[in-house]
Amino acid sequence: MHPINTNSYEILNYNSKKFIFIGNYKTLFEYTDLLNDILKLLSNHNDDEIVNKLEGKYSSKLVREQVSIIKEWILKINSHNENQYNLNNNIERDYWHKEKVLKSLWLNISHDCNLRCIYCYGDGGNYGKRTELMTVEKAKEIIDYWFKYLNKESKEVNVVFFGGEPLMNKDVLFFAVDYINNLIGHNKNIKYMLTTNATIMDSKLLDLFTKNKFSITLSIDGEKEIQDKNRPYCSGEGTFNKVIETIGLLKKSYNKLTARLTLTHDNVPRLKQSIEDLWNLGITNVNFEIVSSKDKSLKLTEEDIKILKPQIQDLAKITYRNIIDNNNKYILTFIKYGKILHNYLDNSCTFYSKNSLMVDPDGEIFKCHRLIEQEEFMVGNISNELDWGKYNKNKNTNSKCDDCWINKLCFQCPQINYTFNNNIYDPYELSCELTKIIVEESLKLYCSIYENYPKLLSQIYKC
Instruction: Give pLDDT tens digits for 84-122.
Output: 544 556 777 787 887 778 999 999 999 999 999 999 999
The residues with which 193 forms a beta bridge, in sequence order, are 160, 215
Is pLDDT of 281 > 60? Answer: yes
What's the confidence (pLDDT) of residue 3? 63
Is pLDDT of 203 > 80? Answer: yes
Q: What are phi and psi of 294, to 5 degrees?
A: -90, 0
The mean per-residue pLDDT over the stretch 266-279 comes to 98
Is pLDDT of 1 > 60? Answer: no
What's the confidence (pLDDT) of residue 225? 97
Q: Name 249's Cβ contacts closer than 8 Å, sequence gap at least 6.
A: 201, 206
The mean per-residue pLDDT over the stretch 145-153 comes to 93
Is pLDDT of 410 > 70? Answer: yes
What's the confidence (pLDDT) of residue 80? 66
The mean per-residue pLDDT over the stretch 342-371 comes to 86
What's the confidence (pLDDT) of residue 445? 96
Query: How confident is residue 36, by pLDDT bands cut at 50, 70 and 90?
Result: very high
Is pLDDT of 218 > 90? Answer: yes
The mean per-residue pLDDT over the stretch 386-413 comes to 81
- Looking at residue 380, its amino acid is G
- Looking at residue 89, its amino acid is N
Specify the 3-state DSSP secondary structure of 59: coil
What's the confidence (pLDDT) of residue 67? 94
Among 108-112, 274-278, 381-385, name the one with the lowest average pLDDT: 381-385
E-assigned strand segments in 281-401: 285-290, 330-331, 356-359, 364-366, 378-381
Q: Is 383 buried (19+), middle (13-18) or exposed (0-12) by CB count in 10 A?
A: exposed
Domains and CATH numbers, the chain: 1-89 (3.90.930), 98-351 (3.20.20.70)
What's the confidence (pLDDT) of residue 394? 72
Report the distance separating Cα 130 and Cα 142, nearest Å: 19
Query: How confident is residue 183, by pLDDT bands cut at 50, 70 and 90?
Result: very high
Sheet holding 27-30, edge to edge: 9-14, 17-22, 27-30
Q: How far is CA 323 from the centre of its chain?
A: 21
